[in-house]
Every structure is written in C-alpha cells, then in structure tokens.
Structure 1
Amino acid sequence: MVNCFQQLVQALAVGPAVLATVVSVRGSVPREVGAKLVVDATGQAFGTIGGGAGEAKVLHQAEEVLKTGQKQRVEIDLSGAPQRQIEGICGGHMGVWLERWQGEAARDLAKTIVQGLQEGRSLTLVTPFTTDQSPYLAETPIELAPEIAFVETLQPPPTLLIVGAGHVGIQLAKVAHLAGFQIAVQDDRPEWANGELYPQASHVLAEPIEGAIASLSTHQTLYAALVTRGYIYDLEALQHLLQRPIPCRYIGMIGSEKRVKQVYGAIAQTGLPTSKLATVYGPIGLDIGALTPEEIAVSIVAELIMVQRGGTGRSLSEKLRRGMGGG
C-alpha cells in the first residue's frame, strides 16, 4: 500500500493520475477488495488488480477517465460463463472504481497517506461515488452505505527493525523489503547505519537502541531482528524491546545456541518474567543450511513470513513425498 501511494505521489508531480481500486468481489477472483493500481498521465501503470483481460479492460477505461475526469465503475466478469463477454475463468466477479486524482490537494493527500503508513498508523480513506466529492481521510473510522462511498482502512506494512547494520543486516534489508516489510535499521555506527548501505530503509537510526525503539513507538506491528556484532548489544536491545508498550510481533536473535542461552540467562537476572521471551526466536531463522549473509537473510525472512502468515515452516511437498515413499 505504501508503494502504491508513493507511485501516486510521483505520478501527480507531472500530471493527473487514475487510481483504480477493487471495491467489490464475488466468488473466486485474483485480487482482494482494496487492491489498487495507478495509471499516470502517460498511461503507464504501476501495481496490479489481477492481470489478464480484466486488467486490460480497466487500463483501457482509465485512459478515458484521465481525459474526461469522469469517475466510473468497471465490472469484470471472471465467471467463464458461455455466450457472454468475459475477462477470465476464475469463477467470480470484480467491481473496480476508477478515480482521477489531480492537483496539489490530491498530491498532498497522497503524501499524507504515505507519511501515515510509514509511521505505522492505520488510516481511513473515503472515496465518494458522487461526482462533486473527492477522496478524503476520515479522522475516525466511519460507515457509509456502499452505494454512496467506498470506505477502506489502509493498513501500514509490518515494520522490520534490523538491530545491527552489518553484512547480514544489509542482505536482510533487501530480502525483507522485497517481501513487503517496511525497513528500519539501527546501529550506533553511522558508517554502517546510513542510506547508502540501506537504500530500502524508511528509517535509518544511527543512534543508541533505546532512542531508536522510542522513535518507532507508533508502529503497531513491529518485527525485530537482532543481528548485532556482539552479546552485549543483543542484551541491551532485547531488554528494551521486551518492555515496549506495544509488544513486538516477533523478535529474532542471531547466534549460536550458547550465545542465545547466555542472553536469556542475563535477561532472567534483570527480573523480567520469562513469559516475555515467548515472542523471541533464537537462534533466528529457519533451518535451511544457510551459511552466507544472503542465505541467512532468506532463512530469516522465511521465518518472518511464517510468523506473519501462520505457516508451519514445513516443506510443501512433505506429505506427497511421504505418500510416494520419498522419505
């Protein structure tokens, strides 16, 4: 969602743009309600609402909306029904709303949305279906009749705080950003924690860990990966993360079992209840035999996705292979 509105901000810098949003679905469809794509003044598209003939239909209509400014709803038939024009055979239907954004007010709104999401806040965006009203942010969640407006809660992406800006951290930022995480990196060494080494990071925190965590206080869904240069830094970070008012969704700690146990033992001496360690994954990552920083990054992000999506970490082929006598 952040990427979508960032693209919208860039598009509005040079002219009007159309924001296409899936506002209704029925049956089996390729994308969910709220999925978006942006079409800029040149007709170039960013994002997807599912591809194929259905998306092609939306892109064609978006060209008209760009010219006329007249909002419209596009119905996409994916039922595969015979003897009528369809755009796919998934089995369902999608309703897509096309809205032209233009001018400084629209660009300011898109910027406000990007900033809010980057700060880890949820936002309520209202897109009226009337011709005389433009999209706006509601201060509090509201309910409107679906024929009047599309009301959606824009959720910020999960934030991954990388504690320790070393070689593993650099690769982890790349892979986690690709997987949809917003990246924050902390290290008290500016020569390591900087935008040149971490171009994916929306937050580069070259400061002590306590201040860095405080600066992320509004982030509701925070994941933390401790890939520091030593035991003492793990311990300090863990103490502050475990006392965060909004508990971390995940805390992973790199290192051997011996190093992890040392940190656990030191945490116990501070008086923090051992139940606080329930969200700590140490040693960090899934066991895929990773050795290089790049492989370790893949291992860690695989575990992040597992926690986020509720997966098991098992091979998807395990059951079938076992049934075929493959071990």
Structure 2
Amino acid sequence: MSRTFYRQLHQLLQQQAVVVATVVRTRGSTPREVGAKMLIPETGNPIDTIGGGAGEAKVCQQARSVLQTGKNQFVEIDLSGASQRPVEGVCGGWMQVWLERWSGEAAIDLAQQIVQQLQVGQPGILVTPLTAERSSYLVSSLPEVTTPVIRSAPSSPCKPLDTSAKGADASHLALLAPLPLPPVLLIGGAGHVAVPLAQIAHLLGFQVIVQDDRPDFACADRFPGGTVLWAQPIESIVELPPPARLYIALVTRGYQYDLAALQHLRQLLDPSFPRYIGMIGSKRRVQCVWQALQRSTGSSSWFNQLRAPIGLDIGALTPEEIAVSICAELIQVRRGGTGQPLSLGFNPTEWSIVHPPRSIPQSIQVSCFYEDSTWQHHQQQQQS
C-alpha cells in the first residue's frame, strides 16, 4: 500500500482505533487482489476499498465487532452467487479477508515508522500474524520474522518461503508485505500536458519528477504538492532511480529536446532500460527524432523499447485526455494488462459460474507481497 494509506492510518490512530482489513486469499474472479487493504475507523467513513458492494459492507459490519471486542478475525466473502445471501456479489470467486484492530501508542508508533521508511525509501517488511493473539510488526529483513512457520529465508526474494517447519499449524499463518517503494515518473517538459499528467500520476501512486529548463514552467504553482521540480536542462541530471522503478514520459516542446533527453538518458542508463519510456509527438516528429538518433548513435538497440507516439489510442485531443492516455499506458505496463477492452471476446451467454467449495481445507500459507502486486504463495496442506 502507498505512503498516503499509512499516513491516513497514522492520522486516524491519533484519535481512535482502526481496523485494517486485508485480502489474504482469493479464488476465482475477485474485485481485488491478495494484499488489498482498507481502513475501517470507529467513527467516520472507511478509507480505500477491497472491492465495494455487499461483500465490503459485510467486512465493515464484522469490523465493528472487532473494534468492540479487540479480537482479530477472518471474514469470507462468497462472490459466486452460490451462497445463501447471493447479494455478496457475483464476480464468480471467493475472498478471505483478515480484520486486525490497530490502537494505542504501539500502533501509532508502528504506523509512523512505516510512513517514515516509505518517505525515505528504506526497505522493510510488515509482518501480520493471522492470529487473534498477535499484532503486526515491522522488520528490516526476513531472518527477523519471528512467526514460527518461517524456517528459512529464500535465496531469491521472488521465491516462496519454506514453511515446512515441524509443528507448524494453521495458527501460525503470516502475511509478509515488503514496504512498496513507489514507482517514479520522470516527466521531461513542463508544458500543458505535463500538468494533468503529474496530477493523475500522483493519484496513481507515482513519485513525480518534472524537468524543464524554464523556471516559469517548472514551478510549484503549476504542479501538485510533492512533485520534485528540476528547472535545469536535462543534461544536468546525473543520477536516476533504479531502472526497475523508473518510468519516463517525454512531453517536451520540441523534437530537439526529445533528442537531447534520449541521448542523455541512454548515457545514464545503458545497458539497463527503464520500466517505461515514451515520447509525445506526431508520427512525423517521432520519425525525425528516430532518424537523428540513427545518425548520432547508429543502430542502438537501447531505443527499440521507446514507445512513440506515447499513450494508448483512446482518441485523446485535450491535454487532460492525452494525460489519461499516457497514464493508461503506464498502468498497462505496471500491471501487465493488454490495453484491450475488457468486453472484447466476452459472451455472457457462454459464461459459467464455478462455485468454490463450501469449506476451505486448513493450510499453512505464507504470502509474500512484492512491488507491483506480485505475490508468491506457498501452501502446505495439513491433513485433519
């Protein structure tokens, strides 16, 4: 979850107890993924969502009980339409949500520590024992995790954890959520498109950097709070975030600035490549830049991943619409979408609902959440 989410949690905890609801298991088609969270305070409206509808209403209702009793618990949401109360939803799947009560000085300190580490980009892992007796805690590395089900850390952060420790049982379920370092969007150019682009990117959780050599354009009056402004030529940038977190959108005022930016970015990053790089412009402008690159650098494969013209084809005309088009492509790359209409090829008359079993077998499951919602699951079935 984002720094904004934990900042809101920290602010709420100053005045009241809060239930943090987290999706810990899913099956079939569900509105949110494992790791999605929402906040249910004692007073006031919930913050964020785990899917909305009657299923979320059920979670909020159960959260009131957790707020009163202090006993953390699971809530199951049947979205298959097979339950006795089909109004929970008809997405076709099943969700299990963990409700944990946060309150008191320890919770305030934990939320504040998470916010501070996210602010400076310091890694950490939020461990949530899925048991009524224990509360979440923060560690800097896997060996510090004290949940008994953890026996050893994986050699690679993308491998499942070993949960084969003797004596482990369902009471030692744990959810591991490494603090997500935000993706960074570098916007080259601070013109008309850059303003709504920065605004929307902020809403999407990007850390935004705007570069333009015109101080009157790259100024705080035009961009949302939190935007890093670089009112210097792009050649003055000497260091960039790690390529895996870096997205670049070139929306400069002329192809010569695009050319200078691409040449400089290549010098900084090559042989690595950012997660995304796109350039605005007509096909003619893109062709001019490409031909100039060929003359100056030869047939460099580094530029082959350049997305130009930038954005998805939604018929955008205004700066705001163009910004939406660009952000849609950013989401597509970040989340691994196709960019196709969800309705394409869907025939509801041929769709059948697969009902999940009424009872879920006991299991040991350690869920590891990595950046960009990549989850690794490892289950060891326990015979009852």
Query: Which 10-residue stretch deviates more, 225-234 or 274-283?
Result: 225-234
Residue aligning to 2:308: 282
Counterpart Cα distance in 2 of 1:213 and 1:223: 16
| Counterpart contact for 1:118–1:202, Cα < 8 Å | no
Instruction: Pick closer, same or farther for the CA change 1:54–1:255 going to 2, 3 Å.
Output: closer
Q: Are residue 255 (structure 1) and residue 281 (structure 2) matched?
A: yes
Which secondary structure does the structure 2 equivalent of 1:167 belong to?
coil
Structure 1, residues 229-258: CA drift from partner, whole Å, max 9, x if none? 234432332223223265212211123444
Which secondary structure does the structure 2 equivalent of 1:281 belong to?
coil
Structure 1, residues 156-177: CA drift from partner, whole Å, max 9, x if none? 4533221111111012223344
Residue aligning to 1:323: none
Query: How far 1:211 sits from its partner (Å)?
Result: 5.7
The aligned length equals 319
Match of 2:261 among 237, 253, 276: 237
Query: How far 1:95 sits from its partner (Å)?
Result: 1.8
Query: How far 1:120 sits from its partner (Å)?
Result: 6.4
Counterpart Cα distance in 1 of 2:243 and 2:116: 12
Counterpart Cα distance in 1 of 2:339 and 2:79: 33
Instruction: Pick closer, same or farther for the CA change 1:217–1:314 going to 2, 3 Å.
Output: closer
Q: Are residue 198 (structure 1) and residue 223 (structure 2) matched?
A: yes
Query: How far 1:56 sits from its partner (Å)?
Result: 1.5
| Counterpart contact for 2:184–2:241, Cα < 8 Å | no
| Counterpart contact for 2:123–2:140, Cα < 8 Å | no
| Counterpart contact for 2:24–2:96, Cα < 8 Å | yes
What does 1:209-224 correspond to in 2, within 5 Å?
Answer: 209=234, 214=239, 216-218=240-242, 220-224=244-248
Query: How far 1:29 sits from its partner (Å)?
Result: 2.8
| Counterpart contact for 1:253–1:283, Cα < 8 Å | yes
Q: Tell me how large the CA RMSD over aligned residues is.
A: 3.4
Residue aligning to 2:191: 166
| Counterpart contact for 2:243–2:274, Cα < 8 Å | no
What does 1:1-327 correspond to in 2, within 5 Å?
Answer: 1-2=1-2, 3-81=4-82, 87-114=88-115, 116-117=117-118, 123-130=124-131, 133-141=134-142, 142=153, 143=161, 147-148=171-172, 149-179=174-204, 181-199=206-224, 201-209=226-234, 214=239, 216-218=240-242, 220-242=244-266, 243-244=268-269, 246-268=272-294, 271=297, 274-311=300-337, 313=339
| Counterpart contact for 2:247–2:276, Cα < 8 Å | yes
TM (norm. structure 2) is 0.69
Instruction: Pick closer, same or farther for the CA change 1:236–1:59 going to 2, 3 Å.
Output: same
Counterpart Cα distance in 2 of 1:40 and 1:31: 21
Structure 1, residues 100-119: CA drift from partner, whole Å, max 9, x if none? 22345434433443455566
Instruction: Give the letter for the 2:254 counterpart.
Output: G
Which secondary structure does the structure 1 equivalent of 2:241 belong to?
coil
Structure 1, residues 246-297: CA drift from partner, whole Å, max 9, x if none? 5212211123444434433444455476100022122323444443322322
Instruction: Pick closer, same or farther for the CA change 1:51–1:274 going to 2, 3 Å.
Output: same
Which secondary structure does the structure 2 equivalent of 1:220 belong to?
helix
Counterpart Cα distance in 2 of 1:100 and 1:286: 42
Structure 1, residues 65-95: CA drift from partner, whole Å, max 9, x if none? 3344332222333343355798344443322
Instruction: Give the letter for the 1:11 counterpart.
Output: L
Instruction: Give the letter for the 2:70 counterpart.
Output: G
> Where does the alignment leave 5 or more consecutive residues of structure 2 unmatched?
143-152, 154-160, 347-384
Query: How far 1:154 sits from its partner (Å)?
Result: 4.5
Counterpart Cα distance in 2 of 1:219 and 1:16: 39
Instruction: Give the letter for the 1:251 counterpart.
Output: I
| Counterpart contact for 2:131–2:171, Cα < 8 Å | no
Counterpart Cα distance in 1 of 2:82 and 2:316: 49
Which secondary structure does the structure 2 equivalent of 1:238 belong to?
helix
Instruction: Give the letter for the 1:229 counterpart.
Output: R
Instruction: Give the letter for the 2:127 counterpart.
Output: V
Query: How far 1:124 sits from its partner (Å)?
Result: 2.6
> Where does the alignment leave 5 or more consecutive residues of structure 1 unmatched?
321-327
